[in-house]
Each structure stands twice: as structure tokens, then as C-alpha cells.
A and B are shown apart, each in its own frame.
Chain A
Amino acid sequence: MKHDFIDRYSRLESPVHSIEPRAKALAIFALIVICVSTPPQAWWCFLVYVGILAVIATASRVPFSYLLSRALVVLPFILTVAVFTPFTKSGEIVLRVGFLKISKEGLIILWNAAVKSLISVTALIILSSTTPFPDLMRALERLKFPKFFTTVASFMYRYVFIIVDEAERMKLARDSRNFRGRWIWQAKTVGHMIASLFIRSHMRGERVYQAMCSRGFEGSFPRWNDPEMRLADVLFLALVTLAALSARVSLLWH
């Protein structure tokens, strides 16, 4: 079966793809932290952040439509919460629609959540679309991220497709036996399917571990070919951070 990858486009060749993963990850994280700490009223700061991302995205040759569609998948979850605040937050009323009152404070909160989540999510998507997932995990590990997290994420990346395939086969087998009905009747069957999927995954985990031990695994992952930070990588990191930081810091004089 065919699957989409979270790091699709990550093996293209471009100036952005060739930047050392640690430098790239740090630059993106710095941008996100600076963005999130910006007061919502400083709208032109956000323009600078979007500009930085636009330059990186263009240089990476990853299609804009792809970046945008990915960002749109994540956003609804964040926005569902934020979208109600203009109605519920008390304060200066800017608009009345029937019995609904829209407050200025609520609108600012909505804008704040929307713009910051959009910029952060897009930044992360640019990072994951220009860095192969294994390289990204290794970079995080070298940046002293908890090993537990990176190991779990790496295994998930490898096995999620196999588990999805297994679920897909179970679903086919179920539907072949004329399974139908409304969701409340399905609940029991679906429950059983989840349980047996869990057991299968657990058993697979056991076998994978045995196969690893057979090849001398003793608990820690060996590594090779770690890339070194070059001058260009440091420059990229400095440039992105300084550009965002100067917009943020200039607020202090206004």
C-alpha cells in the first residue's frame, strides 16, 4: 500500500536542504520562541516573521501549496478553541449581532492565537519538509533532547505504515463479511479491532527487539556519519535569529 510521508520533499536538493539539521532546527525553534513572545498588537513584527519563512520556503523549492495545505490540517484544532473568545470575553464591545456581542479583547486573543499558531506550524512544516526525519531526530539527540523521545519517534516513523497496513487489512476482512451499521453498533467491533491491533503491534515489537539483540544491540544506538556544522550553517542560524530578534527587540524603543 502507498503512504504519504510526513517528511515528503525532505530529500529534494536545495540550499535549505543542505543546511546542517542542528542549525536548521535551532533557527526554527528560535523563530518560534521569538514569535510567540511578541505582543499581538505589534502586527508588523509578524510580517517580518512571515517574510523570513517565505524566503526560506522559496529557497527550499518545496511547493507553497503543499506547505499551506499541511498547515491547514493542523490549524482547525487550535482555532476551534480560539474562535469563541470574541463572543465570550467581556470588554469593549466593537460589534453587536443580535444577542451576540463581540469584544475587542476577544478579537485580539483570536488574532494572537491564529497568527502565532499559523507561523509556528508553518515553520515546523518547513523544517520537517527540508530535513529527512531520521536526520532531524539525530539532530535533536545531539542537541541533548531526551533520547527516549527521539527513539520513540524514530520507531513510530518506521512502523506507523506497517500498523496502518495491518489496520487496513483488518478493515477489509471485516467489510468482506458484510459488516455495516451505525456507529453505536460498530463500537464493539471497532473496540475488538483496536485491541487486536494493539496485541499484534506488541508482538511485533517483541520480535523487532529480538532481531536487534541478534545483531548485538545492547541498549544504545550506534551512530555514524554525523555532519559537522560549517560556517554557512552558523551564518544561517545567526541570520534567521538576528532578523527575527531585531524586529522583536525594536519594540522596546517604541
Chain B
Amino acid sequence: MEVIPLDREVAIRIENLSYTYPDGTKALDGINLLVRKGESVALMGPNGAGKSTLILHLNGILIGDGKVEIHGLEVNKKNIRKIRSIVGLVFQDPDDQLFSSMVKEDVAFGPLNMGIPPDLLEFSVKRALEWVGMSGSENRSPHHLSIGEKKRISIATVLAMEPEILALDEPGANLDPRGRREISELLKTFKTTKIVVTHELNMAAEICSRAVILSSGRIVADGPVADILSDKKLLLSAGLL
């Protein structure tokens, strides 16, 4: 596993972040987190710990109290365009991510919003599909794809924007063991900064070098993935075993 030197530039800086949903549920409670460029971090915790809420803050879908900085840019309304081109978010349910009637339209959606020159578009779609091993599926329709294929296309729709930070919400959810293994192997090939929300220990160990455990909206552990995953007491108390 690659060790990220401490003097590496900061990719994500979160300071004292709290978020309360409109219905009064406190989802995040004073989060402090620093992720350096090139790191791959597993964000773990039981259901309802605030993992998904936290990654929705990375590109300003949610804006809470506190400070979030991406590559030195504060996440606010003014910077949102730039930030969304840096942070690629892959949602848990691919049917939320894929809304077009054709795969290529979905993959082209991000780059087009970013204002890619038309002559580069075809190439960028083709390359993104190649990265996820789905070459040649440009004209297929999402309702004809298997769940594993939909996941891959979802990832491609984000990769097409060439994000420097990739945040994935439960990439292994609803997949059979082989599908999960294949997604793990795919994710390992990406060299960007990665934040992977998961409660699967194997997946965390395979993809990430660092693990952060969230419980009731707070960070309760943060360290090298091997140390965290060997601490049975910690895993039990965090509802991960």
C-alpha cells in the first residue's frame, strides 16, 4: 500500500463541520478531517452514522456549519462549479445516477455541463467507458444493464469529468461477491484521491490505506486501515462486526 508523505498537498480539509437535517436529525457533529492528495480513505460506520451526509458536503450538495475546503477552495456557492469539476461523486443507487435513455448521453452529461469542446466529447465518452471496462456500450439503454454494469457506467459518468477526488457511496452495495471483487479491482486502478463509503471490511482493506470510522455523526477512529481493522473492540462498538 502506498504511503502518502505528510507534506503532500491537502486535497480535503474539513473543520468543525456540523449538519442538521430540516427534520431536526443531527447527522454530523463537529467533524474534523484532513485528506492529502493521492490518499485513499475508507469512510466506515453503521447505518445512519452520517457517512453519506458527509460526502454530500464534499461538493456542496449540502452546506453545513463549519468549513470544507477542496484543493484550498472553500466550498460555497461562488466556487461550486470549480469544486464539482474537482470532486466526482458516485451515488449508491446507479438508478439515481443514470437518468438518460442512453449510456453515452449519461456519460456525456458531466463533460457537457463543464463545457467540453464538442470535438473532444466523443473521445472523452469512449475513454471513460474504456476505463470501467464497458467499451462499446454507448448506445445501450440503462434499463437493459445488470446492476454491476450500471455501477460501472455510474463510475464512468463521473470519470468522464476527470475528477481529482473520487467519492463513492457504497460501491459494493447490492452486488454479488464477484461483482464486489471486480469493482474493488477496478477502483484500485484509479490513482486519484479516493473517499470510499463502505461498511464492508474486505473492501476497505483492499482499496484503502486509511480508515475513518464515523458513529452518530462523529469521527471515533482515524488511522491506517490495517490498525483499524485489527481492533476488534473498536469494530464491535462501531457496529462493523
Q: Which residues in A have some Cβ–Cβ distance to B below 8 Å? A: 3, 132-134, 154-155, 157-159, 161-162, 204, 207-208, 210-218, 222-224
Q: Are A161 and B91 in contact (CB under 8 A)?
A: no
Q: Between A and B, how many residue pairs show CB distances below 8 Å?
A: 73
Q: Which residues of B contact A159 (CB under 8 A)?
A: 99
Q: Which of the residues A133, A211, A218, A224 comes within 8 Å of B89, measured between beta carbons? A: A211
Q: Which residues in B have some Cβ–Cβ distance to A below 8 Å? A: 56, 59, 61, 81, 84-85, 87-89, 91, 93, 95-97, 99-102, 105, 108-110, 112-114, 118, 121, 142-143, 157-158, 161
Question: Can you give 27 A-B contacts (C-beta < 8 A)?
Answer: A134-B100, A154-B101, A155-B99, A158-B101, A159-B99, A162-B95, A204-B95, A208-B96, A208-B99, A210-B61, A210-B96, A212-B99, A213-B61, A213-B84, A214-B88, A215-B158, A215-B161, A216-B81, A216-B84, A216-B85, A216-B110, A216-B113, A216-B114, A217-B113, A222-B109, A223-B112, A224-B108
Q: Which residues of B contact A154 (CB under 8 A)?
A: 101
Q: Are B102 and A134 in contact (CB under 8 A)?
A: yes
Q: Are B81 and A207 in contact (CB under 8 A)?
A: no
Nearest residue, chain B, Cβ from A205? B96
A80 to chain B, nearest CB (A): 33
Q: Which residues of B contact A210 (CB under 8 A)?
A: 56, 61, 91, 96
Also in contact, A157 and B108, with CB within 8 A (given A207-B93, A215-B84, A216-B114) = no
Q: Interface SS of chain B: helix, strand, loop or mixed?
A: helix
B85 to chain A, nearest CB (A): 7
Q: Which residues of A contact B121 (CB under 8 A)?
A: 224
A163 to chain B, nearest CB (A): 11
Q: Are B89 and A212 in contact (CB under 8 A)?
A: no
* A101–B110 CA distance with the chains assembled, in angstroms: 66
B94 to chain A, nearest CB (A): 10
Q: Which residues of A contact B118 (CB under 8 A)?
A: 224
Nearest residue, chain A, Cβ from B139? A11
* A223–B118 CA distance with the chains assembled, in angstroms: 10
Q: Are A207 and B109 in contact (CB under 8 A)?
A: no
Nearest residue, chain B, Cβ from A1? B143
Q: Are B100 and A216 in contact (CB under 8 A)?
A: no
Q: Which residues of B contact A216 (CB under 8 A)?
A: 81, 84-85, 110, 113-114, 161
Q: Are B61 and A214 in contact (CB under 8 A)?
A: yes
Q: Which of the residues B89, B93, B113 comes within 8 Å of A222, measured between beta carbons? A: B113
Further 7 A-B residue pairs, CB within 8 A, beyond A158-B101, A210-B96: A158-B100, A162-B143, A212-B109, A214-B89, A215-B158, A216-B85, A218-B113
B87 to chain A, nearest CB (A): 8
Nearest residue, chain A, Cβ from B102? A134
A213 to chain B, nearest CB (A): 6
Q: Which residues of B contact A155 (CB under 8 A)?
A: 99
Q: Which residues of B contact A217 (CB under 8 A)?
A: 109, 113
Q: Are A157 and B96 in contact (CB under 8 A)?
A: no
* A197–B196 CA distance with the chains assembled, in angstroms: 30
Q: Which of the residues A132, A158, A222, A223 comes within 8 Å of B99, measured between beta carbons? A: A158
Q: Which residues of A contact B97 (CB under 8 A)?
A: 211
Q: Which residues of B contact A222 (CB under 8 A)?
A: 108-109, 112-113
Q: Which residues of A contact B88 (CB under 8 A)?
A: 214
Of A158, A208, A223, which is in contact with the most chain B CB atoms at under 10 Å from its CB?
A158
Q: Are A214 and B59 in contact (CB under 8 A)?
A: yes
A128 to chain B, nearest CB (A): 13
A215 to chain B, nearest CB (A): 4
B70 to chain A, nearest CB (A): 13
Q: Which of the residues B84, B100, B105, B143 comes within 8 Å of A214, measured between beta carbons? A: B84
A218 to chain B, nearest CB (A): 7
Q: Are B113 and A215 in contact (CB under 8 A)?
A: yes
A142 to chain B, nearest CB (A): 16
B83 to chain A, nearest CB (A): 10
A5 to chain B, nearest CB (A): 8
